[in-house]
Amino acid sequence: MIYLQATEKVRDFLGIGKEQLDAAAAEQSLLGNWAVNIVPIGARSAFLFVSSRSLLSFPIMIGARRPAVGDMTAFLSHGVRQLIHGIEADRMKSTHLLESLNQVVACKLTDKSLAATVNAIAADYAHRAESGASVGQIVSSVNALPRPALGYKSPMEVAGELLGSNKA
């Protein structure tokens, strides 16, 4: 099971802002639980997903159709699949990770340190979007940045280590 730790902005957007939500339980997935916020990227808004363990991140652009809370599992699964493909992760670990995405529970983002890190990552996305680069280039660039919280390793390096990548 994975806990999707949603900011107040995301919970309100999805219509679950007033609901009583459980706190996130201990991380059971290889990449940990995930945080999600709504951030500007260029002229659009996106859900920004961030792994709590590796800080691996990706945006899902918000379109004309307003997503529901049930869509978040599909968004998370899609983004993780794209990222682990680029990591060339161990097949068994990848399968285990993807299976853990079958059960995602929304909860409040209460970890202030993680919330601050998500905001810093969002600023990196916003800054890179100004360059006119493609979303794929931006995602790769942000995930290659060394992070103090990771001992100055990049999210891709840490995720590769956690997933048994040959690139790690």
Whichever domain contains 150, its CATH number is: 3.30.420
pTM of the model: 0.92
Contacts of 57 (CB under 8 A, 6+ apart): 48, 49, 50, 51, 121, 125, 139, 142, 143, 155
| Residue 76 maps to a domain | yes
- As a 3-state breakdown, the chain gives helix, strand, coil percent values, each rounded to 5, of 45, 20, 40
The reported pLDDT for the residue numbered 168 is: 46
- pLDDT score of 166: 56
Residue 15 forms part of a structural domain: yes
Q: Which residue has 């990848």 as its token pair?
A: 94
Distance CA 88, CA 135 (A): 20
Would you say residue 168 lies in a domain? no
Q: Can you list the alpha helix ranges (DSSP code H) found in the chain?
A: 8-13, 71-87, 91-100, 112-129, 135-143, 155-163
> Which residue stretches of the chain have pLDDT < 50?
168
Domain contains 124: yes
Question: In total, how many domains does the chain have?
Answer: 1
Contact 49, 72 (CB under 8 A): no
Q: Is residue 70 part of a domain?
A: yes
- Burial of residue 134 (CB within 10 Å: 0-12, 13-18, 19+) is exposed
Q: pLDDT by residue (tens digit) across 84-125?
A: 887 877 788 888 888 888 888 899 999 999 999 999 999 999
- Domain coverage including residue 44: 2-163
